[in-house]
Amino acid sequence: MTVKVGDIAPDFTLASQTGSSVSLKDFRGQKNVIVYFYPKDDTPGCTAEACAFRDSYEVFKDAGAEVIGISDDSQQSHQKFATKYQLPFTLLSDAGNKVRQLYGVPATLWIMPGRVTYAIDKQGVVKHIFDSMLDFKAHVSEALKTLEAIKN
C-alpha cells in the first residue's frame, strides 16, 4: 500500500522516546500532524532534519500542528537523540518498519529506509507528501507551506 494525497492517513500506535504509546487517531479533530519518516538517529542527515524541525517547532505549534518523527530505532536510541539535540517533539519507534511499510515509504537504493514527510490535517486527510533523501531542511519548509494552505 502506498499512501497518497487525499487518502485518510492510516492509524498506528507506537512507543515514544518516553515509553508512552502514541496513536495518530489521538490527534484527529484536534491538531494537524506532520509525520516524518527518517532513516536513523544521530546520523548527519537525520540530525540536520530533526534540528530543522526543532528550530521551527514553535511555528508548527502556532499553526496548530504536532510534529512526529518515526524510525526503527529503539526507544532508548530516540531518548538519547532527543536529549542530545533538545528535540521538543515526539519520536516513535517503528520496530520492523511496519508503519513505514503501511505508508509505503520507499527504501533508497533498496537498503536505506527513505525520508518522507506527510502533512495530515485535523480530519486525518493526507494533504501533502514530500520525499527527498538529501534536501533535509525542505521537509520543514514544505510542511510549513502545507499548513499555511490548510489554514487558508
How do residues 40-49 score in pLDDT, each as one tens digit? 999 999 999 9
Q: Is the dihedral of CA 94, 98, 104, 107 positive or negative?
A: positive
Average pLDDT, the chain: 94
**Cβ(31)–Cβ(23) below 8 Å:** no
For helices 138-151 and 44-55, what crossing angle results, to 10°?
30
Active site residue 46: yes
Q: Does pLDDT of 78 surpass 70? A: yes
Which element (helix H / strand E) includes 55? Answer: helix 44-55
pLDDT-above-90 percentage for the chain: 86
Residue tagged active-site, from 46, 68, 82, 92: 46
Q: Does pLDDT of 20 surpass 90? A: yes
CATH C-level class of 13-151: alpha beta
State the pLDDT confidence band at 1, using cuts at 50, 70 and 90. low
Q: Residue 71: how many CB atoms within 10 A of its CB? A: 24
Question: Beta-strand (E) ranges in the chain?
Answer: 13-16, 21-23, 32-37, 65-71, 90-93, 107-108, 112-113, 116-120, 126-131
pLDDT (0 to 100) of residue 113: 87
Q: Does pLDDT of 54 surpass 80? A: yes
3-state secondary structure of 99: helix
Whether pTM exceeds 0.85: yes
126 φ, ψ (degrees, to nearest 5): -70, 120
For residues 50-66, give the mean pLDDT.
96
Taking CA atoms, 18 is separated from 21, 80, 88, 108, in Å, by: 9, 11, 12, 29
- Which of 92, 117, 98, 68 is closest to 1 using CA atoms? 98
In this predicted model, what pLDDT tens digit does every residue of 103-132 receive, in sequence order? 999 887 667 888 999 999 999 999 999 998
**Cβ(10)–Cβ(23) below 8 Å:** no
pLDDT (0 to 100) of residue 110: 66
